[in-house]
Amino acid sequence: MKLRAPSIPLITVDPYFSVWSPADEINHSITEHWSGKGNSIIGTVEIDGEKLLFLGYHRDIRKIKQVALDIDALSTTAVFENDKITLTAKFLTPLIPDDYRLLTRPVSYLEISWASKDGASHNVSVNIAASEGLCLDEPNSIEVITEKVKAGSLTAMKMGNPTQNPLNRSGDLIKIDWGYMYLACNSPEAESFDSEIWGDKHINITAPLGEGAPILYLFAYDDIESIEYFGRHLRSYWNKDGQTIIEAIAEAAEEYTELEVRCNEFSKKLYDDAFAAGGEEYAELLSLAYRQVIAAHKLVLDENGEILFISKECNSNGCAATVDVSYPSTPMFLIYNPELVKGMMRPVYKFALSDAWDFDFAPHDVGQYPLLNGQVYANNQKDILKWQMPVEECGNMLITEANVALATGSADFANEHIDLLEKWSRYLIEYGADPGHQLCTDDFAGHLAHNCNLSLKAIMGLQGMSTIQNMLGDKEKSAYYRSEAEKMTAIWMKTAVNTDGTTRLAFDRPDTYSMKYNMVWDKVWGSGLFTQEFMDAEIADNTKHFNKYGMPLDSRADYTKSDWLVWTASMASSDKVFADYISPLWKAYNESPSRVPLSDWYDTVSGQWVSFRHRTVQGGLFIRMLMKK
């Protein structure tokens, strides 16, 4: 990969089990949780008695030089050299999207090998030290307990909080403080022990390493209980039949060779498909985004054994199952496993049908991760209705449901919730043509009346409902919703378009502009509400507003959103125009001074992140690939 990742993914399992390196070399910084809090793992190699650092940070140990780094969808490989050996460290997390056992099993791999550089033989050993920060929100807040354990033939250690209180709190920029961290190694000569580094307890495993004979380290986390769902505590999918974490670690070690092949094949196909859809820079962006998008979710089963795929709204407010975060993420999941999109929607339907939700529009969220007991967004506001997103969330649910139906070839899932979908459609018919003073998913920009792009959301939501009804065989209702979408489109074309053919941010604001990203579904679906000529003219006008790192979201500020930028670019009929949109985005990540997991909200002049990191919305980057599928 030519792209310099703003932050390098190492362990990417779920919102809590997350380790990144915020530097160009993985041995130049303390490894971090996605939130920026320390999740320190220290890796050292001893070569003929000289100890060198290849992973993480240690002020008293000299670094071995990193000479190469490659990142693909499921792995990160770093290569190091001194005058004696070449050392290779490969991190891999097997997030295969249609294999729920692998997708949820909380085990990540580090394979380490070396080859002689000077032609001589050498005595080499490796030590991995994992900090108490991996199982505490704040290191030194409590004395962790450690224990030597056996996982099949593996040498392993366990570390955790002595007081186990699963699911004791929710929040955004926090880490886990329950469950147990495990470190294991498959070398028969491995030795395990505790150590203290700068006041933090670490579990360590040291193992000799023969030339050309890789050893495998495994990192695992048993969170015991994963999600609170309307008062019920749910565990992750991987142990639904009672498998223990020790059994899962041993199983993972046995499967590594086979899984590495599967992961390499998956990553290569993702890259090749993305390259065919949008070129090299686009393919690199998708390869870097994939793990982040998956790892901002947790997959559990509800009381009926149905999948719940719970997102965490990372680095915005920590909301769980947020409708306007799920919506932009769906292109990736529609490509790889649309059943996961159903898992995103089930909590929303359950809450919307409860007595706690008495509005005639869709909710914003179902809780704050990992506690899903009902919407928390704006609950502290005096005027709660003012802080809802009525047109936004109704349109999101209808568009997403239509996409699930099209991706699976069946509208049966939509039919299970058809009364809600029809209620939300009626809301759009009444209020969608000219939305009032309300928020959209870009709520960071504040309230806006007469939002042209929000009206597009309503139009596409009604077209989505027409598609659903058509697939259910109700031609009369399908024609009705199509007619309503056409009426709204005609109004939009009269009120959103300036005399020169450009479009406005709001119906009452001439000489403004904005990305019309919601229109993209008209192209994806081929529904023909807008002409390709109109889309191309809109894209051509957008290019006049470009800064160094891409097009601003709208005329109010220089910041942009990566997902919406790619959606807007994907409306272009020309592959070259699409590539011209993508290049500044690639450059923004490649040059950004902000060393955080891919931010979707950044400044187009400086390349600096504004806020948001590690968010699932980067699944939206896959929309061009979805369109070409």
The CA distance from 129 to 40, in Å, is 8
Cβ–Cβ < 8 Å for 290, 270: yes
Q: What is the mean pLDDT of residues 319-338?
A: 98
**pLDDT tens sequence across 559-599:** 999 999 999 999 999 999 999 999 999 999 999 999 999 99
DSSP conformation class of 605: T
**pLDDT tens sequence across 63-78:** 999 999 999 999 999 9
The CA distance from 532 to 542, in Å, is 15
Instruction: List, in order, residues 6 or more apart from 10 with CB less than 8 Å away.
Output: 19, 20, 21, 26, 31, 41, 76, 91, 108
Q: What is the mean pLDDT of residues 154-158?
A: 98
**In the predicted structure, residue 380 carries a pLDDT above the cut 70:** no
Amino acid sitting at position 437? H
Percentage of the residues of the chain whose pLDDT score is greater than 70: 99
The CA distance from 481 to 382, in Å, is 36
**In the predicted structure, residue 379 carries a pLDDT above the cut 80:** no
**In the predicted structure, residue 347 carries a pLDDT above the cut 80:** yes
How would DSSP label each residue in 545-573? G-BTTB--SBTT-SEEEHHHHHHHHTT-S
**In the predicted structure, residue 141 carries a pLDDT above the cut 90:** no
**Average pLDDT over all residues of the chain:** 96
* Of 70-79, 102-111, 325-334, 382-391, minimum mean pLDDT range: 382-391
**What pLDDT score was predicted for residue 382?**
60
**What pLDDT score was predicted for residue 265?**
98
Structure tokens at 617: 């919305």
The three-class DSSP label of residue 118 is coil
**pLDDT tens sequence across 425-475:** 999 999 999 999 988 888 888 899 999 999 999 999 999 999 999 999 999
**What pLDDT score was predicted for residue 311?**
98
Tell me the helices (H) and strands (E) count for the chain, helix number first.
15, 23
**What pLDDT score was predicted for residue 387?**
83
**In the predicted structure, residue 299 carries a pLDDT above the cut 90:** yes
The CA distance from 127 to 112, in Å, is 11
The CA distance from 123 to 208, in Å, is 8
**What pLDDT score was predicted for residue 381?**
63
**In the predicted structure, residue 384 carries a pLDDT above the cut 70:** no
List of E strands, 209-305:
215-222, 227-229, 232-234, 297-301
Query: Domains in the chain, start-ordered, CATH in brackets?
Result: 8-266 (2.70.98), 306-628 (1.50.10.10)
**What pLDDT score was predicted for residue 489?**
98
Compute the half-sphere exposure of residue 290: CA atoms within 13 Å on the CB side of its CA. 29
**Confidence grade of residue 270 (pLDDT, cut at 50, 70, 90):** very high
